[in-house]
Amino acid sequence: DAGITQSPRHKVTETGTPVTLRCHQTENHRYMYWYRQDPGHGLRLIHYSYGVKDTDKGEVSDGYSVSRSKTEDFLLTLESATSSQTSVYFCAISGGGDQPQHFGDGTRLSIL
Amino acid sequence: GQQVMQIPQYQHVQEGEDFTTYCNSSTTLSNIQWYKQRPGGHPVFLIQLVKSGEVKKQKRLTFQFGEAKKNSSLHITATQTTDVGTYFCAAYSSASKIIFGSGTRLSIRP
């Protein structure tokens, strides 16, 4: 498997608290992605990055922000978590804009 | 925006039976990718199709890309318990954004 590490793997927090998820890669890939996966919705793109400090929104970006200060790290922040953001979050990387994506193991986030 | 529709949502088969999942788009696709996600796991890339009418095989799995590049299918011959999981198709809507189908969950009776 590609060198992708997501942290934490599990998190339980309360509504209104800030939450940051981290994705770390050792592949030096240019593209990094954050998805959320919910039953019946498949994988939905939240934000993605096409280089250091270069990011763009996906289809479900409201309530989320991202940062990429170096190639290997892509952070996803929920500024004020809501129960609707309870989900499994996957990070993915790819070497090119239309190349296959390689996924991390996911973070299971529960917001009470 | 571009959507990728995938059917069926669920498929429950007897071990040894065949399985097919279909992916359809209203717009022409530049390519299509297929992923498999085992229960509790993460999506894993299986294959990418690029050419009109392309057919690729991986052991018991056959992948097809339609002539008009608007649809694709994944067919599994003689399913085994190791085939259990959810199969996703995915296509790029623009330069770097990928759209995933909602997936087909395959379960198998031994």
A65 in Cβ contact with A77 (< 8 Å): yes
Q: Find, in chain A, the residue whose alpha carbon is nearest to that of B47.
A: A100
- Residue A2 confidence class, pLDDT cut points 50, 70, 90: low
- Residue A1 confidence class, pLDDT cut points 50, 70, 90: low
Question: Of chain B residues 83-102, which have a CB less than 8 A from chain A?
Answer: 88, 90, 92, 95-102
Q: What is the pLDDT of residue A39?
A: 83
Question: Among residues B104, B101, B96, which one has the least CA distance to residue B4?
Answer: B101
Interchain CB distance below 8 Å, B33 and A105: no
User: Chain A: nearest CA to B35, how far in angstroms?
Assistant: 9
Question: Among residues A24, A42, A41, A38, which one has the least CA distance to residue A92?
Answer: A24
Task: Tell me the per-residue pLDDT of A53-90, one tens digit each, with 9 for 90 and over.
Answer: 999 999 899 999 999 999 999 999 999 999 999 999 99
Identity of the residue in A43, A102, A105 whose CB atom sits nearest the CB atom of B88: A43
Strands B71-76, B19-25: parallel, antiparallel or unpaired by DSSP?
antiparallel
Q: What is the pLDDT of residue B41?
A: 95
Mean pLDDT, chain B, rounded, equals 93
Percent of chain A with pLDDT over 70: 97
Query: How long a stretch of residues is chain B?
Result: 110
pLDDT higher than threshold 80 for residue B96: no
Q: What is the pLDDT of residue A42?
A: 86
Type of residue found at B68: A
Q: Is B10's Cβ below 8 Å from some Cβ in A?
A: no
How far is residue B99's CA from residue B28's CA, in Å, rounded to a whole number? 13
Tokens of A84: 């609707």
Task: Tell me the per-residue pLDDT of A16-49, one tens digit each, with 9 for 90 and over.
Answer: 999 999 999 999 999 999 999 998 778 999 999 9
Q: Is A3's Cβ below 8 Å from some Cβ in B?
A: no
Identity of the residue in B30, B31, B103 whose CB atom sits nearest the CB atom of A42: B103
Which residues of chain A have a CB within 8 Å of the CB of B43? 43, 90, 92, 101, 103
User: Chain A: nearest CA to B26, how far in angstroms?
Assistant: 18
How far is residue A38's CA from residue A36's CA, in Å, rounded to a whole number? 7
Tokens of B33: 């990718």
Task: Tell me the per-residue pLDDT of B46-90, one tens digit each, with 9 for 90 and over.
Answer: 999 999 999 999 999 999 999 999 999 999 999 999 999 999 999
- Residue B110 confidence class, pLDDT cut points 50, 70, 90: confident
How far is residue B4's CA from residue A26's CA, in Å, rounded to a whole number? 31
What's the mean pLDDT in B11-32? 95
Identity of the residue in B1, B41, B96 whose CB atom sits nearest the CB atom of A97: B96
Look at B93 and B82; give whichever has higher pLDDT. B82
Q: Is A59's Cβ below 8 Å from some Cβ in B?
A: yes
Alpha carbons within 13 angstroms on the beta-carbon side of residue B71 total 8
Interchain CB distance below 8 Å, A100 and B48: yes
Q: Find, in chain B, the residue whose alpha carbon is nearest to that of A55.
A: B96
